Amino acid sequence: MSKPEVTGIEPIFDTRTAAPLLGVTPGTLEVWRCQGKGPRFVKSGARVIYRLRDINAYLDSRTRKSTADPGE
C-alpha cells in the first residue's frame, strides 16, 4: 500500500506510510510494536494497519509545553 487507503470512515496506513507521519523509519515502527510503544495498531492476519485517529492520539500524548515537561 503506497498511499493511505480510505475506508469510508477514516484513512488507514500500513507501516511504510505511517512511519513518515511520525518522523521515524518503518523499522523503528516495527520495533515499537514489539516493545509496546508507539501508536495503537490493528492486526488482521499478517497485515498491520494504523488508523489516523490512533496516530493523532499518539502524537497528542507526546505533546509537551516545554522541554522540562515530563508528561503524564
Domain residue ranges of the chain, discontinuous segments joined by +: 5-61
Q: In this predicted structure, what is the pLDDT of residue 2?
A: 62
Cβ atoms of 13 and 52 closer than 8 Å: yes
Cβ atoms of 48 and 33 closer than 8 Å: yes
What global pTM score does this model have? Answer: 0.79
Say which residue, 15 or 7, is predicted with more confidence. 15
Q: How confident is the model at residue 6 (pLDDT cuts 50, 70, 90)?
A: low
What mean pLDDT do residues 28-51 have?
96
Q: How confident is the model at residue 70 (pLDDT cuts 50, 70, 90)?
A: confident
Strand ranges for the chain from DSSP E: 5-6, 11-13, 42-44, 47-51
Average pLDDT, the chain: 90
Distance CA 16, CA 50 (A): 10
Cell reading at 20: 513518515
